[in-house]
Amino acid sequence: MTAAVVADGPTGQGAGVGPGTDGEVVNPADGSVVARVPWSTPADVNDAVAAASTAFLEWSRATPGERSAALQRLAGRMSARAEEYARVETRQCGKPIRLSTEFDVPGSIDNVAFFAGAARHLEGAASAEWDGVHTSIIRREPIGVVGSIAPWNYPLQMAVWKALPAIAAGNTIVLKPAEITPLTAMMLVEDARAAGIPDGVVSVVVGAGPVVGEALVSHRDVRMVSFTGSTPVGRRVMELATAGIKRVHLELGGKAPFVVFDDADLEAAVHGAVAGSLINSGQDCTAATRAYVQRPLYDAFVAGVADLFGAVRLGDPMDPATDMGPLV
């Protein structure tokens, strides 16, 4: 981990590499400072990628069973800290504690457990060659160091979705979480170390995209790039990655329609539309941004949505009764 909480953090411990620039993680609900994290520099990115390259030599040769066991231990450690993960997630990004507790954290832990199982089931393929005397085999092998950039709307889940598939397959990863919500990604690295995953397999660098993100994406030893965020930044990521002919995975912004046909369950449609548009304060790539409703249900649907919107409880994200918190 190449950046660490230095004050008021979720764990109060960690080791930083390089001074960087102190960045404040601010609670969007009340403006209080949750933690101060030293921002990484391009030199820190270089160190993290070098450590990941070294770790790859060992981790890529670990057996599927060994990698699976390590990820199972990670899931166990995260389960033991589930309440802490939920509190930190809510404090850094403002999502209601009920969402963190019932969705983000258990979903993340379940994903770790899933990829612990998937590590044992990496498939290849074989078939007869055209001449009948040779066999054609496809063998899946780790790529190398993966550089990933995650957004601020689901900090822990995005860190898990970026890191776990990569390391389950024998790769190593350097992750740049959003600089405004880095804390649970840093906790994930702490728990990975404690679970016996070797140093350098999972690292975190923290800082602004044009500095730290671009240094990571364009690094010559990064073999694959993964980015989730806006379309303009996705274009920039692809531009930088193509200079090194890297593999690229982009998940960019969406604008999802909510469609209601005239044979729909009206009550379910109303609840689904409100939940789909307001979950995580609407900061969701699949958020229901508009509705198309067949005419026979239109008036009742609009009235039902209006009534339900009126019952949404805004308030302190740490209050379990709160339905909707602030924008991060």
Identity (one letter) of the amino acid at 55?
A
The answer to whether the beta carbons of residues 258 and 302 sit under 8 Å apart is no
Question: Quick check: is 93 catalytic?
Answer: no
Residue 19, classified by CB atoms within 10 Å of its CB into exposed (0-12), middle (13-18) or buried (19+), is: exposed
Q: CB under 8 Å, gap of 24 or more: what pairs does 218-223 form?
A: 218/243, 218/244, 219/45, 219/46, 219/49, 219/147, 220/244, 221/49, 221/50, 221/53, 221/144, 221/145, 222/49, 222/144, 222/145, 222/146, 222/147, 222/174, 222/246, 223/143, 223/144, 223/145, 223/146, 223/247
DSSP for 36-101 reads EEEPP-HHHHHHHHHHHHHHHHHHTTS-HHHHHHHHHHHHHHHHHTHHHHHHHHHHHH---HHHII
Helix (H) or strand (E) holding 225: strand 222-229
Catalytic residue list: 251, 285
